[in-house]
Structure 1
Amino acid sequence: MRSTTSRLRLLSAVALVAATAVAGPTDAPPAAAAATYRAQYHFTVPDHWKNDPQRPVYVNGKFYYYYLYNVDYPTTVGTAWRLATTTDNVAFADQGIAAPKNTNANADLWSGSAVVDTANTAGFGAGAVVQLVTQQDHPVNGSGPQAQFLWYSIDGGRTFRPYGDTPVIPNGGRRDFRDPKVIRDSARGRWVAAITEGDRIGFFTSPDLKTWTRQSDFAGGMGILECPDLFPIRADDGTTHWVLGVSAGGTPGTYAYWTGTFDGAAFTADAAPQWLDHGFDWYAGVTWEDPAAPADRRFGLAWMNNWAYADTTPTRAADGFNGTDSIVRQITLKHYPDGYALASQPTPALASHASSVTDLGTIQVNGGLVPLAYHGTAYQLDTDVSWTQLDNIGLQLRVSADGTRHADTGIYHDYSYLNRRQTGSPDTTGARGESHAPWDPAKKTAHLRILVDRTTIEVFVDDGRYVHSSEVFADPADTGINLYTTGGSATYANTTITEFPDLSQRPAHVVSGFEGTSYDPGWTTTGSFTGTGPSFEYLPGMVGNAVLDTFAGGGDPATGTITSPPFTLDRNHLHFLLAGGNHPGRTSINLLVNGQVVRTATGDDTGVLKPVDWDVSGLQGQSAQVQVVDQETGAWGHLMVDQVLLSD
């Protein structure tokens, strides 16, 4: 098959001159070149590095989205699980590290999955959020066998602790054994885990998330597999099917899936594997239920990168990070003449964030290029294209002022494509320059929904059975759009441009985690607490290895205060973990603004740390201090505090 870019290079000067009409509002000014490569409306890591997404869990009306994060990138390898929350899967709020690395004897955390243990099957408490996650089993010199470990959270999924150092599913002599995906098999009253084992997926079952039995495996025939996915979904014809997904090698090397049946122990495919995305950069994909219609549709997203060039990005030098996700999609199962297949579109909630919609109307292209008056680096473009006969149809995106640089997407005979060879391709080998997906050449109409952001392009063709998602590191000054045809004419109808505001997260920051032998610089102590520091002890719900515990000053009779240095309230929420005596005003943690108490909380006469969330959105920009007060000398005359954090 010919390169689409090569065909466009053959456009003659005569054709270009013939297509001089500028489509759209003639007074639209060119957008200013972006001063950053950070995405405008896609999820990006606040700093350093991210890779694999972890399937979100739904807790108290919010989705808790975890992902692999490395604060030591690029000098040291090793990931923790970082958390962001969202109510609509479009705008995310960073919550910092949820499961820190190097907390147990098994080094960093790899991929896995979290579940809400509503029935307390694991014994951590009803509603505990439990992770089954891959770590190296007691690694030596940075290397050890891959095995599956439990971590758990009793604060609603905000922070996690390891359930010891021993794997709940040992390696068993496997070279590759990782990325467990856990689902609840309600019909059989047990948990199911799908875990990749090299070129196959093993299925395990458990009554309690702690004891597991291997039941079967499924050989994918697609080389080394990672990041499995398993779920039932009801198709548009009312029948229910199981889907087994994986991140696989080959071309395009994104999210492959099989439809079939699952009997609680074994998966049987009923068709050949298909690709959820035909671009080159939709890897480690995860899907999760839509709470509004859990049987009928799911959400999905992936890491927009590729291990072949994972470190090739201008974002690191320009903006201090490496890690962008795809847009969250809504996924359904449809019955087509050739069988069942998943179809996906950007989540409908994206439209609610639109800051402007420009209607460019209907545009006729009679061969050659027709430039749009609109310029930009972050937008959604929708158009309905129709034609009678032609060779090639499409759009040039991120076009440079001289027209020499651009990314192209469109339809050529029997395939749709996305070509990035002429601008910003991270693949220096050229092998991953143009992605293809099947197209019925008898069709003469297509709806294209194109999501362009500062380093990514996603193209949804018609209903989204076929999608192309790829990184495109175009020059920030390249903002043009051209429509084109070769070998005939086409009409681009209902053409609109949708823009979005800046949805990038504001990073959470820890006021104090109380992890040192002394309190952080600037903290002051009075009374019995003079000269004391954090207490190295175990308390249920704690983060790390130490907490602030006023008992350390001399037991319940100890009295005094422990006060933070001033800090600016520059986020909407102040979170912390709290336990100890229930004595309002006498054992309390207070938020001080101008020396006055504006928020206060006390314990519940237990030693279990529980989450407290103060809404401080009305105090934005003000200087504040956290003060722990202990003036109670009787029973439960002490207070414990951990992980004070500001976030949105």
Structure 2
Amino acid sequence: MNPDTQPRPATRRPAFHFSVPDNWKNDPQRPIHLAGEYLYYYLYNGDYLAGGIGTSWRLATTRDHVAFVDRGVAIPKFSNGNGDCWSGSLVVDTGGTAGFGAGAIVALVTQARVDAVPEGRQAQYLWYSTDGGRSFRSGGDDPVLDVPGIPDFRDPKVIWDAERGRWFLALAEGDRLGFYASTDLRTWDRVGEFARDDLGLLECPDIFSMTADDGSTTWVLGVSANAKHRGLPATYAYWTGAFDGRTFVPDAEQPRWLDWGFDFYGAVTYPHHGTTGAEDPGLRHVIGWANFWDYPHNTPTIDTDGYNGDDMIVRDLRLVRDERGYRLISAPTAALADYVTTTHLVGDVEVSAHVDLDVSAVAYDLECDVSWSASTQDVGVQVCRAPGGTRFVAAGLDVTKGSAYLDRSFTANPTRARSEAPFDPTAGSVRLRVLVDRTSVEVFVADGETVQSHRVFPLSGDERIRLYSSGGAAVFRDVTVRELEVGPRRDGGAG
């Protein structure tokens, strides 16, 4: 039998990435920390396979950002006449400012009525929970924030502004973010805005302060943006800068990007909490939807596993500061190391054209340091490689151009495409880390200076790994492949 015509695998469900139990998921909602665990809500359509529309909020919990326990639907869809539940954010109202008692969980949720004329209606509604976030009740039929006539008016992101003793909200309003303030989560006053007309439709805003590696602190404003028309990503853009409770002044005009790939949309960041429950100001996490609205329904998992909806791996974020200013660097979250099932210590490999590793795996974490000669033009790793070599995903470095790339053109994927991110080849070496799972490949370059995430669908048997170099020789040092699997009870989140 031709190895390149093997049947599809029995399952395409990821081995170590989050996936919805059934039907559909899209946007993540910012997780909150409560009683030693993180509560992760996401938009869920339980009627997706039957052709139903609308989304609810479904809950999963985790203690380590890798393994999640499904807790079911927390806000049912079409619970009232205010329309579909879309994205929003939650806070633990420790002071009871909203009137539901100290410690209540309060969610501000966009509800959308597509039947409203002439352009539909999006407004912000309050929901609350007094049972630890397992279920929510409506805080009233009237919106707490509504500006009729604005077609894009959604995705409220709420934080506690400790310096001014009030709540602050950033809202996506087309080509700008509206800024609002409140003392009770119910009555909101517009206090400012942040406008950008060169990044497409802005969605899912994010704002937080963070301590850098040099001990300084700065603010970060993030947003899901679509800059494809400029040859830039359509993922999570962010700026560092100054925030005074009303305005945000960026350090630079152009944003940086948390991901340069194609499938890291609607991403949300959230603070890390230590063993005492206190926030760590120098560490955050980020989780992003492994899909994009250009091709949301194009996945074979519908047929093989009865679902459509994965996330990319949760990352640890740290803020670094140097002569280039502030920037966020990413790494797969640290607890991923707890789910290694087999480790292959390949060692140092010299490559003048290509070398096929004596390792085959479906889901794994590959790490190495790559160095190259003066004549080397292109160097990297082919993963998800078919035995006959006709299919693969290439994670590599175009040394002459100074770009890192992730190329899914030669395997099954939603659209044939290659993404690129800038990297500095002058050092002659770089750290490369590649995460491979049944529906995704993610490449971290230079210790997470840049990341690229792609949705891919390798066939059964596409498990080979090839190291390659063209134009000159390269050395792959300390090549290590760690196979990964999150077992059904190795979740760290039970109870």
Query: Normalization by structure 2: what TM-score?
Result: 0.93
Cross-structure match for 2:419: 435
Question: Counterpart in 1 of 2:171?
Answer: 195
SS at match of 1:109: strand
Supply the AA of the counterpart residue of 1:371. Answer: D
Matches of 2:191 and 2:71, distance apart in 1: 37
- 1:284 equivalent to 2:266? Answer yes
| Deviations 1:126-165, CA, capped at 9 Å, x for gaps | 1100000100269549973100000000001111111121
Residue number in structure 1 paired with 2:130 = 154
How many angstroms apart in 2 are the aligned matches of 1:286 and 1:247? 9
Instruction: Give 2:407's match in structure 1, choosing from 419, 434, 438.
Output: 419
Q: Does 1:353 align with 2:353?
A: no
Read off the aligned partner of 1:405 and give its amino acid letter: R
Q: Where in structure 2 are the equivalents of 1:30-429 lying within 5 Å?
A: 34-74=9-49, 75-136=51-112, 139-140=115-116, 144-221=120-197, 222-250=199-227, 251-271=232-252, 272-292=254-274, 294-366=280-352, 368-389=353-374, 390-413=376-399, 414-427=402-415
Unmatched runs of 5 consecutive residues or more in structure 2: 1-6
* 1:101 Cα deviation after fit: 1.1
Report Cα offsets for 1:302-336 as digits up to 9, x if no partner.
00101001110000011100000011100011113
Which amino acid in the other structure matches residue 256 of structure 1? Answer: A
Give per-residue Cα distances to partners, 1:188-219, cap 9 Å, x unaligned.
Answer: 11100100000000000000000100111101
Aligned length: 474
Q: Distance between the aligned counterparts of 1:238 and 1:68, measured in 2? A: 37
Aligned residue type for 1:177? F
Aligned to 2:475: 491
Aligned AA (1:370): V
Is the CA contact 2:432–2:447 (under 8 Å) kept in the aligned structure 1?
Answer: no
**What secondary structure sits across from 1:423 in the alignment?**
coil
Cα shift at 1:34: 4.5
Query: 1:256–1:419: structure 2 CA closer, same or farther, 3 Å change rule?
Result: same
Question: Take 1:47 and 1:393, find their aligned partners in 2: how far apart are those partners?
Answer: 39
Report the secondary structure of 2:280's partner residue.
Answer: coil
Q: Hey, what's the Cα distance between the residues in 2 that align with 1:488 and 1:295?
A: 44
Give the AA of the match of 1:494.
D
| Residue correspondence of structure 1 range 528-607 to structure 2 within 5 A | none
**For residues 456 and 220 of structure 1, what CA distance do their matches in structure 2 show?**
31
* Alignment partners' CA distance in 1, 2:290 and 2:122: 25
Aligned residues of 1:46 and 1:505 also touching (Cα < 8 A): no
- Give TM-score scaled by structure 1 length: 0.71
Q: Does structure 2 conserve the Cα–Cα contact (< 8 Å) formed by 1:92 and 1:505?
A: no
Residue 626 of structure 1 corresponds to: none
**Residues 123, 139 of structure 1: alpha-carbon distance in 2 compared, 3 angstrom cutoff:** farther
Q: 1:117 to 1:402 in 2, by over 3 A?
A: same
SS in 2 for 1:295: strand
Between 1:68-77 and 1:199-208, the stretch displaced more is: 68-77
Partners of 2:192 and 2:412 lie apart in 1 by 44
Whether contact under 8 Å (1:278, 1:468) holds in the other structure is: yes
For residues 582-613 of structure 1, what are the alpha-carbon distances to aligned partners after superposition, in whole Å with 9 as ceiling and x for unaligned?
xxxxxxxxxxxxxxxxxxxxxxxxxxxxxxxx
Q: 1:388 deviation in Å?
A: 2.2
Q: Give CA deviations for 1:500-522 in whole Å, capped at 9, x if unaligned.
A: 2244699xxxxxxxxxxxxxxxx
In the TM superposition, residue 476 of structure 1 has moved relative to its aligned partner by 2.3
Q: Which whole-Å deviations, capped at 9, do the CAs of 1:521-557 have from their partners, x for residues lacking one?
A: xxxxxxxxxxxxxxxxxxxxxxxxxxxxxxxxxxxxx
Find the aligned partners of 1:34 and 1:76 in 2 and give their Cα distance. Answer: 28
Give the root-mean-square deviation of aligned CA atoms.
1.9
Gaps of 5+ in 1: 1-31, 507-571, 574-614, 616-648
Distance of 1:198 and 1:179 partners within structure 2: 11
Q: Which residue of 2 aligns with 1:13?
A: none
**Equivalent position amino acid for 1:397 in 2:** V
Cα displacement (A) at 1:33: 8.3
Considering only CA atoms, is the larger Rg found in Structure 1 or Structure 2?
A: 1
The answer as to whether partners of 1:115 and 1:182 remain within 8 angstroms in 2 is: yes
Change (3 A) 1:397 1:111: same
Distance (whole Å) between structure 2 residues aligned to residue 451 and residue 136 of structure 1: 37
Shift of 1:280: 0.5
Which deviations, in whole Å up to 9, do the C-alpha atoms of 1:377-431 show, x marking residues without a partner? 211001111122200100111111111111101110200000000112211xx4x
Asked if the contact 2:385–2:393 (Cα under 8 Å) also holds between the matched residues in 1, the reply is yes
Paired letter, 2:170: A
| Post-superposition CA distance 1:404-459 (Å, at most 9, x none) | 111101110200000000112211xx4xx111111112121111111000010010
CA contact (8 A) 1:236 1:334 kept: yes
- Aligned counterpart, 1:445: 429
Deviations 1:258-312 (A, max 9, x none): 1111101111111121111001100000000011352111000100101001110
Q: Does the CA contact (< 8 Å) of 2:87 and 2:109 recur in 1?
A: yes
